[in-house]
Amino acid sequence: MAHQGIVDPQIKAGDIIEIDPQNALLWAIYIAAGDVGYWNQKIRQDGQDTPANFNQQRAAVRDMRAAAKMAIDAGLAERQVQLAERIGGMIADVIEVIADGLNLTTKQENKLPDLVRVAIASLEAPGNPVIKPRPKGVLINYKKSEVYEDIEA
């Protein structure tokens, strides 16, 4: 998983980077997990199973475990769930306002839940072929359950 933001070739040691505490904890976990993966690969795939490499791998696991514990102790997972619930409620409200404003027929209203599920699932799966550049003037292809990006072809 590639993460954007802090990874910047212009950043030098000692540079100040603005980051909120939750993202700082997540970054600590990502970096520690990357270190564990590096040492696992070095030991298993590269055949460099030396005591020094095993010690590095164990240290990386300890760092990852400590970062994860800090995130748990800070209630990060709980906050993420609360945020997701709030966002989900807001999305549902927006969909309801749009559907009410369109004065949909009963047949169209019956299609709406499935189309919303397809659209939301496509957001959760980057590269999912459901989201495509859309032909001009087309938002949703009802027959194929395709949702298009808001760009003109």
**Tens-binned pLDDT, residue by residue, of the chain (153 aa):** 444 455 667 778 888 888 888 888 888 888 899 999 999 888 887 777 888 888 999 999 999 999 999 988 888 888 888 888 888 888 888 888 888 888 888 888 888 887 887 777 776 665 555 555 555 554 544 445 454 444 443
Using DSSP's 3-state secondary structure scheme, residue 149 falls into: strand
Q: Where are the domains of the chain?
A: 21-74, 105-153
The pTM assigned to this predicted structure is 0.50
Question: For residues 61, 62, 67 and 73, what is the CA-based torsion angle, rounded to 10 degrees?
Answer: 120
What the block records as the tokens of 90 is 């807001």
Residues 6+ apart with CB under 8 A from 149: 131, 132, 133, 134
- The string of DSSP codes covering 110-132 is HHHHHHHHHHHHHHHSTT-TTEE
